Chain A
Amino acid sequence: MAPKKLGLKQRYAHMTRGLDWETTYQPMDAVFPYDTFEGIKIKDWSAWEDPFRLTMDSYWKFQAEKERKLYAVLDAFAQNNGQTGVSDGRYINVVKLFLTGVSPLEYQAHRGFAFTGRHLRGAGPRIACQMQSLDELRHLQTQIHTISHYNKFFDGIGEFPHMHDRVWYLSVPKSFFDDARAAGPFEFMIAIGFAFEYLLTNLLFVPFMSGAAYNGDMSTVTFGFSAQSDESRHMTLGIEVIKFLLEQHPDNLPIVQKWVDKWFWRGFRVLGLVAMMMDYMLPKKVMSWKEAWEIYFTEAGGSLFQDLERYGLKVPKYADVATEAAEHISHQNWAVFYQYSHAAAFHTWMPDKEHLDWLSEKYPNTFDKYYRPRWEMWAEMEKEGKRFYNPSLPQLCQVCQIPMAYTEPGDPTKIAFRCTEVAGETYHFCSDGCKDIFDAEPEKYIQSWLPVHQIFQGNCGGATVPDVLNWYRMNVGADNMDYVGSPDDRLWSEWHAAKTREAV
């Protein structure tokens, strides 16, 4: 009789817990010095559940298969000049913003989960973190590989790691991850594993990659969905860590609640970039940011927090404010980039009439009243040859580092100003959410590297805008400014003229 095959649960137990041991040369507390200082109490690490029950051997098998599928598509895309078949040349700017703003976060996540896995003493979470760390590295590599094809034709792509560390708006996603990685391993798990992966990445990857599919970008949709298949595992890890911490000790609840509140708000602010991509940058639109928020936060998040109520965990503080802001943030963000187009490494453009009509339809309560007039005013100025630029540098929020462009909840005509004083110095914030985060850990955020302040201190290549753009390695006249009239625009028009000629 053939030996009986082990069931999934048994195999998982043998290949994870079964390979773990208690250290004896050194005490466990010396081997794992980071997993106690945050105040989290763990009574029984073996209570950790990994519902995917994925073992390392299966992990390699599935990941290899995903890679084979992805690279087959990338090859086909390159061989068939897929770049000429996207919906419009403007679309490429979505890819640029993704590579400069999001891909380096994959690397940060890789580092963060490697650290966290190393420093949690339970074998279950350690293995899950190890897999996630490898996943994140894979995501970065596949994103660079995919987008490198566009780099052969379009501007604003080649200097992405340098730009990520320096450019003013990229300090928003960068500082978000720096904040998480500068925390202890449990906070990192809640920040990235729970708040980001579980609550918010659906908003990043699902509508956005579906948008790539709709806009003919076969290569991006493939890396996006290939990454997203790993995300499902990451989301599961995120929810398991929450349940595990809350089940282990009642003292963990207030700590976890504080982190959930903080990282929900941090993540919501960063995702404003995605809101803008969806509502303004995709030439063919899948759904509005507001619709995506309803599906992925209100509906999916609602179910989740209803489930977590039994542990006493509440819906994140200011979730209602974020939901109200879903009416506004995409418009407010695109307006920031429109007026600072000279300092951005991707192109901006004025939404045309059809696009404005779509926004009016998707945002019936607010768009015609507050935002349509703004675009119409700027369109008139463009027509008169006075394209509107903001000649000054913006005030930034000390926590999220975004220009202080967000308005008071309930009044889209008033900028929200908040401030606090520490040791005689004033710090400014865009919202109650960011102010609360600062007030809880002022020592951390008084160290924020705010790009505008750094420019004024003389740390960014010089005193003039061209000096700073040079320090960013921005190719002025190619990477920045409006799409219309850019080298990208000329190239795209040539391709299309050639297609038409060939068709005749």
Chain B
Amino acid sequence: MSVTAIVPDYARRIEPRDPVENFHGNMLVYVHWEDHLSFCSAVAFPLPPAIPFGAFVSEVVAPAYAAHPEAASIDWSAVVWMIDGATKVPDMEASLAANGMKHKTLVRFWTPGLSGWKGTAS
């Protein structure tokens, strides 16, 4: 479906506001730690597509969640990753782009054995 507008060529008069070109060489990546809802939602980062997935984990993801009491217990080698809806085993040496990530990709991850404070998903 499309918008009902008073001008017939509405779609040609407008521009999407968040194409990747607007982010100065970065792309947007969303990350969410499942079963840890003290982080209220997924969080967003502007990242160079060329950084290795391993660096993304150690320099972006881990610090973002460090405040949680369970953060120190995460075994990063056992983490289950889901990239844009598909479960994947990412190549830690390869870039985000090479791991199939693009602008506005959503990365969800599960930490086996850790399901939130006292097991309450908090």
Contacts and interface: CB of A to CB of B under 8 A. Distances in A.
A391 B64 CA distance: 6
A425 B44 contact: no
A440 B17 contact: no
A393 B117 CA distance: 22
Residue picked from B10, B26, B63, B106, most chain A C-beta under 10 Å: B106
A23 interface: no
Interface stretch (A149-157, A226-234, A372-380): A372-380
A184 B4 contact: yes
B40 interface: yes
B41 A405 contact: yes
Contacts of A448: 17
A381 B30 contact: no
Contacts of A407: 37
A428 B106 contact: yes
Interface string A403-437: 11101000011110101001101111000000000
A502 interface: no
B100 to A, nearest CB: 13
B59 interface: no
A205 interface: no
A443 B69 contact: no
A34 B121 CA distance: 51
B46 interface: yes
A219 B46 CA distance: 46
B39 interface: yes
B30 A395 contact: yes
A426 B44 CA distance: 14
Nearest to A386: B67
Contact of B19 (A336, A369, A425, A439): A425
B3 A443 contact: yes
B28 interface: yes
Interface residues of B, number: 50
B121 to A, nearest CB: 4
A447 B3 contact: no
A458 interface: yes
Contacts, number: 147
B77 interface: no
- Interface of chain B: mostly helix, strand, loop or mixed: loop
Contact of B44 (A37, A392, A412): A392
A244 interface: no
Contact of A390 (B17, B24, B43): B43
Given A377-B117, A444-B3, A393 B38 contact: no
Interface string A108-140: 000000000000000000000000000000000
Interface in B62-95: 63-64, 67, 69, 84
A442 interface: yes
A320 B16 CA distance: 33
Nearest to A372: B120
Contacts of A422: 16
Nearest to B1: A440
B1 A439 contact: yes
Given A377-B38, A425-B18, A426-B102, 10 more contacts: A381-B69, A386-B67, A394-B44, A404-B41, A415-B42, A419-B106, A428-B30, A446-B17, A448-B17, A449-B17
17 contacts: A37-B5, A339-B38, A339-B40, A388-B38, A390-B67, A395-B32, A395-B44, A412-B121, A413-B121, A414-B34, A417-B42, A423-B16, A425-B103, A426-B103, A443-B14, A444-B3, A447-B17
Interface of A: 33-34, 37-39, 184, 332, 335-336, 339, 369-370, 373-374, 377-378, 381, 386, 388-396, 403-405, 407, 412-415, 417, 419, 422-423, 425-428, 439-444, 446-450, 452-453, 456-458
Interface of B: 1-6, 10-11, 14-19, 22-24, 26, 28, 30, 32, 34-35, 37-46, 63-64, 67, 69, 84, 102-106, 108, 116-118, 120-122
CB-CB nearest 7 A-B residue pairs: A392-B43, A413-B121, A446-B16, A395-B42, A373-B120, A441-B3, A374-B122
